[in-house]
Amino acid sequence: WLLGHMGMVRSTEEGLQNVDNLVGQYHHCCVWWIAPWQPVLRLFHPDTLRPVLLASAFVAPKDKLFYGFLKPWLGDGLLLSHGRKWARHRRLLTPAFHPDTLKSYVGIFNRSTEIMHAKWWREAAGAPVVLDVFEPLALLTLDTLQKCIFSHDSHCQERPSKYIAAILELSALVVRRQQRLLHHPDWLYRLSADGRRFARACAAVHGFTAAVVQHRRRELERLGHQAWLEGHQGRSMDFIDLLLLAKDEDGRDLSDEDISAEADTFMFEGHDTTASGLAWLLYNLACHPHHQERCRQEVRELLKDREVEEIEWEDLSHLPFTTMCIKESLRLHPPVTAVSRRCTKDITLHDSHVIPSGTTCLLSIYGTHHNPSIWPEPQVFDPLRFSPENTQGQSPLAFVPFSAGPRNCIGRSFAMAEMKVVAVTVGCFVGVFPLSRALEGPRVLLKVLLCRRLSGSGAPGAAASAAGAGPQLQELHPQISQVIAVASSVAFSVESGSSAAPPPRPRGHRSGDPRAGSFSR
């Protein structure tokens, strides 16, 4: 009775199965108790999500219970701020995510993906090799974020970076703290080994961000506004530049502390979620080679007759099936599985029931995406769910991987653009297929075929090692001359040989409970 339903919380596949069971039994919502005095209303249907998600950010702000551990790291960035400060920052940051700004980032997405692909080739070295795809994808997203936010190239995909290592350590420590009740009190956590590591990593991240912001501020003050703008002609501005120039309706700009908090928030929110989404996309395409081949054909048709096969901003709207695959993967495996809100006023639901003021609501993105009353056969990967004819009349809140309402993810267009570029770039060169058997007990492995379009001799035995994995290798690309088979372990945990098992979870994917790392925007 003391811990309520906490015993049912699992940061594992079992935890998501519990969500599936709750959705199947209650359909719209249910109440959980995390202590005798602390109820949490769990919502997992568009009709029950709507009044809370679409309420004013003043009526349904973020719940501090689930986000407080991030405060020492992220400060008062968009994720954690509230009230007038949040509203002001949201207005000032919106231009930084305008399509005209995002357009300039596509080249960065392309180059960072090419670095990852070249690294895979070097690691393969002409022979089969086992790779964990989540780690290189996480480094890829961190690489692009550093370049887009700071115009800084740490070469983190190729060599260690103290700043990147600190971010990865902070992410892991926050998740671990959520899972350890004794580490919840701040004073006790500060005395622990994890707490000391967290403080050191925070200092490293804050030191890097503050140094960049202060240097740019000094340059702006030294040159003056007009000369500084003229110095940027011919090249795009990064996130820090845009925030330094931002002014509200009263002519006030953001402080250095504000800009640092927003940059740290963007680095945190933008790397793990996108990497997780990409890892799941590769997994789902591996399990469905016919969808994978259709994506490849779509990309091949788009890029044909080009001297440089590089995706451009205008191309992103001409990838209908690839986009459907990305959306279906985000439906089936949403990187952020839940968001929380705390009602400051009574909120009336669709059936006239009232959520009392002070109630904590856990809005289950995963539960909504797996609700059989909204999505028939929700465990099936079917990209055609998102075809124009199948989405007509569907509630916009049936699919909310980036949340919805006034506190939705401000970086959703950035994330989708990056996922499309990576999917297209990797899709031109890589075929992924599940092995017939797991090699290491209850693990699902992918076989990745790295395909080069350069002249020269092929790797001996590569074609033989890929036999039976999927389509004929020459069908992957008309100019393939070298293929290396790579077994890519994504650390999935599912009983070997069970085709009916629920989709497994790659390492680094956020859990089915917000206490295990599911953070909203």
Question: Taking a C-beta distance cutoff of 8 angstroms, is the pair 322, 352 a contact?
Answer: no
Binding-site residues for heme sit at 409
C-alpha separations of 215 from 142, 212, 248, 256, 329 in Å: 22, 5, 22, 10, 41
Backbone angles phi, psi at 146, to 5 degrees: -60, -40
Strands (E), 227-374: 338-342, 347-348, 354-355, 360-364
**Helix (H) / strand (E) containing 342:** strand 338-342
Spatial separation of the C-alpha atoms in residues 468 and 453, rounded to whole Å: 22
For the record, the structure tokens of 263 come out as 């940059």
Give CA–CA dist 408/48, Å, rounded.
Answer: 17
How far is residue 142's CA from residue 368's CA, in Å, rounded to a whole number? 29
> How many residues does the structure list for the chain?
521
Query: How is residue 334 written in tokens?
Result: 């949403």
Q: Which residue has the tokens 């993810």?
A: 409
Give the residues across from 360 on adjacent strands.
40, 342
Between CA 298 and CA 304, with CA 301 as vertex, the angle to 5 degrees is 145
In whole angstroms, give the CA distance from residue 158 to residue 456: 26
Residue 55, both tokens: 């309420």
Binding site, annotated residues = 409
- What are phi and psi for residue 301, nearest 5 degrees? -65, -40
Given the structure tokens 């006034």, which residue do they identify? 406
The Cα–Cα gap between 83 and 58 comes to 6
Q: Hey, CA dihedral for 402, 405, 409, 414, is it positive or negative?
A: positive
